[in-house]
Structure 1
């Protein structure tokens, strides 16, 4: 009897064409890369970034970082449950300790993740060796394999190159919403010549350009592929929204029967429609939007 790999994906993830006159009247063909269907527990780019890191962990406990509504924390907790590995989530915001857990953190805890809350100053310095060592000590996790915030490191970037390879033939432009930049760094590398990747940051701050360049340098030794960022669609910051964005997401869901994840996917699709209406894509362009997550149901 053969054992079932709990991390086995559904690959390649489906590619769905969307018939939407708002794009069609500008000569733009819109495809959805349904990475939200890639794995039931490790959704979308979380699967692509986490699996290489889980291999590197080689059975050790896992420690990673995130905010109170982090998709990455939920995915890491789920991976720990599936693999039988202890997990520690270092959560930004010491003031959250002792409060009732929000649904996202409650899911992490239900999957066995031990939550360790730190103040925001400590969290900002988590990449520094002394600060990281102090966090590991205070969390009682000195033997843990550390996965960075969002799962973005060289291993994750290399894992995301397959996403670009899967979109190489159907797409002229492959677009993805960005948090830490790891998915875009790998996507661009995998697309190959004559294709370009577009990133839509969901946080404000203008820091991702340098982060993506550093990730590609770590993963490949230098820049790979053609990519760009459009910083205009963060709607005020991570998990922030506007009435226009909420209205767009609800309308897109009604038109196409696809519930739209609000933190990443809504901003991506909203940006692609705005760019299409601005004439950013030449008539005849095929744009593939990577659906990196599904709405959280608690």
Structure 2
């Protein structure tokens, strides 16, 4: 697409996965197919933010992320498409000491760099100040008048974009399930869901705090955050999860990412097995993309002598 923010998008397919013994049927909304480089919920979150940056006549977008951030990679790609400079504030000042080495061994940052993103590495202590007005002002002094995107891209415009994940064709599903990181994606889905639907957000992070964050941005009560399938916390994985992802790929020819969607689908399968869904329920799970991070994850898995994700 020449300019993804102006492109007319066809609805992504809902791919049938299987009907379980109790009659529960699972479908997967293939948001990962939206765009080859700005896929899934990142496409949705960036769509209106890119348009707003253009409207404000900003020349650059600045945002935050970790070394393997899907958001960093997607923002870099989107900026290149939209002809906007991008600046990534990356957690971990040690990564900037030998940038060529970092880029050699980090596929995410190498991709962002290849898209023209300016990478700035800061300490983990300074990174905690990413929402501090004084810290943002210092960044403006050094980088000019940029359009500011929060970590993960979650703001009101992102939630608006994520509200477009569901279409009128999805109204017959009983349950809508998605992974949750910052809460923006699930908030958009909740706001666009119909009253009879139950929205389940599967937390990729350890802790119970996400529900309060989501509540700030929704106007319905037909939702719940599931906190049983984070596998120890953000980006934490084990052999059981990797085996599940590989089996799912072999069975359905669909690749899941280990940080978000892999945990989501693992959780749904476990809940169905445990009888958490009524007989004959229709479930729609959202594949939010994130596949760009798999090469970096496989490098980590190899270092830990864990099985690798089949790609």
Instruction: Assess same fold via TM > 0.5.
Output: yes
User: In 2 relative to 1, CA 133–215 (structure 1 residues): closer, same or farther, beyond 3 Å?
Assistant: farther
Tell me, what secondary structure is at the counterpart of 2:163?
A: helix
**What is the match of residue 213 of structure 1?**
215
User: In 2 relative to 1, CA 4–248 (structure 1 residues): closer, same or farther, beyond 3 Å?
Assistant: closer
- Structure 2 counterparts to residues 83-102 of structure 1, below 5 A: 83-99=82-98, 100-101=102-103, 102=106
User: Residue 29 of structure 2 is aligned with which of 26, 33, 36?
Assistant: 33
Q: What is the CA-CA distance between 1:242 and the residue it aligns to?
A: 1.0
User: In 2 relative to 1, CA 117–205 (structure 1 residues): closer, same or farther, beyond 3 Å?
Assistant: farther
Alignment coverage as a number of residue pairs: 285
**What is the match of residue 119 of structure 1?**
123
Q: Distance in 2 between matches of 1:5 and 1:111?
A: 15
Q: Which runs of 5+ in 2 are unaligned?
A: 296-311
User: Residue 278 of structure 2 is aligned with which of 279, 282, 285?
Assistant: 282
User: Residue 201 of structure 2 is aligned with which of 179, 196, 199?
Assistant: 199
> Scaled by the length of structure 1, what TM-score is found?
0.90
**What is the match of residue 176 of structure 1?**
178
**What is the match of residue 50 of structure 1?**
46
User: In 2 relative to 1, CA 94–294 (structure 1 residues): closer, same or farther, beyond 3 Å?
Assistant: closer
**What is the match of residue 10 of structure 2?**
11
**What is the match of residue 248 of structure 1?**
244
Residues 28 and 287 of structure 2 are in contact (CA less than 8 Å); yes or no, is this contact kept in structure 1? yes
**What is the match of residue 62 of structure 1?**
61
Q: Distance in 1 between matches of 2:197 and 2:175?
A: 6
User: In 2 relative to 1, CA 166–148 (structure 1 residues): closer, same or farther, beyond 3 Å?
Assistant: farther
Q: Distance in 1 between matches of 2:95 and 2:248?
A: 34
Residues 203 and 238 of structure 1 are in contact (CA less than 8 Å); yes or no, is this contact kept in structure 2? yes
Deviations 1:126-172 (A, max 9, x none): 112112222333xx223000011111101111111122345642411
Q: What is the CA-CA distance between 1:225 and the residue it aligns to?
A: 4.9
Tell me, what secondary structure is at the counterpart of 1:258?
A: coil
User: In 2 relative to 1, CA 279–169 (structure 1 residues): closer, same or farther, beyond 3 Å?
Assistant: same
User: In 2 relative to 1, CA 194–41 (structure 1 residues): closer, same or farther, beyond 3 Å?
Assistant: same
Cα root mean square deviation, aligned? 1.8
Residues 4 and 81 of structure 2 are in contact (CA less than 8 Å); yes or no, is this contact kept in structure 1? yes
Q: What is the CA-CA distance between 1:9 and the residue it aligns to?
A: 5.5
User: In 2 relative to 1, CA 9–252 (structure 1 residues): closer, same or farther, beyond 3 Å?
Assistant: farther
Residues 165 and 191 of structure 1 are in contact (CA less than 8 Å); yes or no, is this contact kept in structure 2? no
